[in-house]
Structures are given as structure tokens and as C-alpha cells.
Amino acid sequence: MNARDYFAYKKQLIPSIKKAFNSLEEFADIIIEGAGSPAEINLREDDIVNMGMAEMVDATVIPFYPMAESIVIYWNNCTRGHNYVPT
């Protein structure tokens, strides 16, 4: 599958992703790692992993950043309507 076809298809995967997550969540606490994705605002609209996954399952998000500039980018662009715990 080429990239164009994947981007057109991936939204159809959301019900299966949620079902798999909910099934796993019955047995264990789940940590979703999303290295860098909160600052990648160009990817947010179609994101089904990282922050997109956190949004899908209403996960609590705990951002860890080494630089203050990244935190500013994060809070200004990605906190609308999410359950965030600042560190």
C-alpha cells in the first residue's frame, strides 16, 4: 500500500484500534508513548497513533520535554479539549 492509499484508508481502522485497546485495557494499565507528536501540528488532523490514539481513548497525557520552547508549542497548539497533566 502506498502512502496516499494508507492515508485514505487509516481512518477506517479506528473502530478496530479502539476495540483492541479496550480489550487490552481490561487486563492491564496501558502507556501510550508519543515521542514528539504533540509538537507536530501538521500531523494532528489525521493522527491515529500517539496523540491521536490518546484522544481516541480519552487517555490522560503527561508531557515530558527537555526544552521550554517545546512546552510552549505544545500548550499553545495541542491542549484543546484534552485531559492533560502538566509535569
Query: CA 15, 46, 80: angle at the middle one, nearest 5?
Result: 95
* % of the chain beyond a pLDDT of 90: 20
Q: Per-residue confidence at 9, pLDDT binned at 50, 70, 90?
A: very high
Q: What per-residue confidence (pLDDT) applies to 13?
A: 93
Query: Is the separation of the CB atoms in 40 and 73 below 8 Å?
Result: no
Q: What is the largest CA-CA distance in the chain?
A: 39
pTM of the model: 0.65
